[in-house]
Amino acid sequence: MYLRYYTSKLFLLFTALFCLLVSCKKHLNLTPQASLSDADFWKSANDMALACNYFYTYLPGIDNNTAANWSDDGFSNSGGPNVISNGSRQAPTTSGDWSGPYKLIFNCNHLLEKAVDVPDDETLVNRYRAEARFFRAWAYYELVKKFGDVPLILRTFDVNDTLTQAHRTHKETVLDTAYADIEFAVHHLPTAAELPVAEYGRITKGAALALKARIGLFAGTRNKFHGEGNAEKHLNACIDACTAIMQDGAYGLFTYDKNVDSSYYYLFQYAGEGNANKENILVRLYGENMDNSIVSHNYPANLGSGNGTTPTRALMDAYLYQDGLPADKSPYYKEQENSLTEFEHRDPRMGMTVFNKNVWYLTSLDQPTFTFAATGYKSRKYFIIDDFINKKSFIDNIVIRYAEVLLMYAEAKYELEGSISDEDLNRSINLIRARVNMPNLTNDFVTNHQLDMREEIRRERRIELAFEGEHRYWDLIRWKIAETELPKAIRGSKYFPQEQTGINNPNLDANGFVIVEAASKRNFNPERDYLWALPVQDIGLDKNLYQNPNW
């Protein structure tokens, strides 16, 4: 079944029916709305597949990449400073971050209950049960990341059910349930090799294992650095899942044969789309083209206008030089003479991620400006010139890719054992570095140059995954360094008035870098902000819910 077709065409019709059949509560403790009878549905595995298509609408869309603005990596021209990043948000009355996952959970539970009576081949029925359990695990992971302990709901219910007044369940119990869902999914989903080309985009065994790895790394490191529980259990779960993916042989890093050295850049262009790219483990599909415009987005145009996200000075400073050393240690470093200086002799991913004067923009080489970039920088990831001009794009959003698995493996090994062997570095991080012709990371290199292995592993993750969703923000949270990094000023590029336009009398720091948001306007309260606030309305409607500390 071609998922792009069903999620964007047929499912536009089916979703209306399915949402009525299993309409969810706006809030956790509200009753499902009166629904159509589904007695004539759920007759085959194909019906289950159609129902599962609804779940895919919950995969992060490409606009989720602007979540870089939650962290110290990104800043947007539109809407002013980000309230998550600068610590100024208040407890919300309602929140899609709370109600959205529970809507997904309700629909997953509904399918799982109906699956019991579907008269079809058990293998097919279990496959779509597995998809539902994957998405239920996904939803609970999203809830635990933000809110910690959350109500664990594993069945549907009505107005007279005690679950309308649900208690919060300890996060470890919730995550254990997510692991159980994933184990079922791993057992019953097809591998990437078994997935028909026409079904590209559907959940596979590899995607389920990658989700397990994400959960294990987040929970393991959060427990370790926040002193909240058993870190080893989760880190081992991460390592086991990553190892299984790495040994499967179905995945690998993308290589663009027409320009091998720029493979990293083309990974986020149309050249990197489709099942031929073995790096993509899970994608959010869009389709198809200007002649057959089914589901599109405007992300490249938003990048060009600065309304999506623009890179910050903090991110730029994180890039190594081509010798594998940071600015304070590399002989390649020199004071900036113009806007191009900082790109010289740097990790090639810097120039593949951020526009500069050596890169073609629309009709000429890029010219640095603050007009459409608050920080003076523009992001290149997913920027496509024709799509910018057409104000419509069909590029898929990469949700999970193999490089992330390699990074998770390296980090989990280090955090579990307190060290990492060169062998493990060679089978993980150094494969990623080799794609962009960066030198290997080794224990001797770290020792000889007075580097810190943990920091280098974290740096590699930051650089490789920049502007791909929420990675940097949740890394700051789980490492418990948000209280250090987020209160810092958001800075942009160094100001060169002879070549940069779009800004007059900028606020500059002592080194000539533009201050986009001053440190005095930024805050992170470690007694509050490591968890998000539950919606006030939901707490008022359920006497068994309580607010997270200090909100």
pLDDT of residue 291: 80
Tokens 């000023």 — which residue? 489
Tokens 């609970």 — which residue? 140
Which residues have C-beta within 8 Å of that of residue 276, sequence separation ≥ 6?
none
pLDDT of residue 37: 55
- Interatomic CA distance for residues 411 and 522, integer angstroms: 29
162 C-beta neighbours (distance < 10 Å), count: 9
- Interatomic CA distance for residues 293 and 26, integer angstroms: 31
Instruction: Give backbone dihedrals phi and psi of 30, rounded to 5 degrees, phi first.
Output: -100, 155
In eight-state DSSP terms, residue 283 is E
pLDDT of residue 16: 36
CA distances from 209 to 83, 189, 213 (A): 33, 11, 6
Which helix (H) or strand (E) covers residue 181, if one does?
helix 171-188
pLDDT of residue 23: 34
pLDDT of residue 446: 98
- Interatomic CA distance for residues 404 and 228, integer angstroms: 25
Instruction: Give backbone dihedrals phi and psi of 532, rounded to 5 degrees, phi first.
Output: -90, 160
274, 200 contact by CB (below 8 A)? yes
Helix axes 471-478 and 205-226, enclosed angle (nearest 10): 40
281-311 pLDDT, tens digit each: 999 999 888 888 889 999 999 998 888 999 9
- Interatomic CA distance for residues 52 and 185, integer angstroms: 13
Instruction: Report CA Rg, the chain.
Output: 24
- Interatomic CA distance for residues 114 and 109, integer angstroms: 9
pLDDT of residue 192: 96
How many residues can be counted in the chain?
Answer: 551
176-231 pLDDT, tens digit each: 999 999 999 999 999 999 999 999 999 999 999 999 999 999 999 999 999 999 99
Handedness of CA 69, 517, 486, 524 (dihedral sign): negative
3-class secondary-structure state, position 321: strand
Instruction: Report the predicted TM-score, pTM, of the whole model to 2 decimal places.
Output: 0.93
CA atoms within 13 A on the CB side of 173: 10
pLDDT of residue 79: 72
pLDDT of residue 8: 35
Cα torsion 304, 310, 313, 318 to 10°: value is -100
DSSP 500-549: -BS-SS--B-TTSEEEEE-GGG----TTTTTSPPPPHHHHHH-TT--PPT
pLDDT of residue 312: 98
- Nearest Cα neighbor of 511 from 316, 306, 344, 310 is 316
Looking at this protein, which amino acid is placed at residue 415?
E
- Profile the chain (551 residues) by mean pLDDT over runs of 10 residues: 32 36 32 50 95 98 97 90 97 98 98 96 97 98 98 93 94 98 98 95 98 99 97 98 97 98 98 95 92 89 90 98 98 96 98 96 91 94 95 97 99 98 98 98 98 98 98 98 98 94 93 97 98 97 97 98
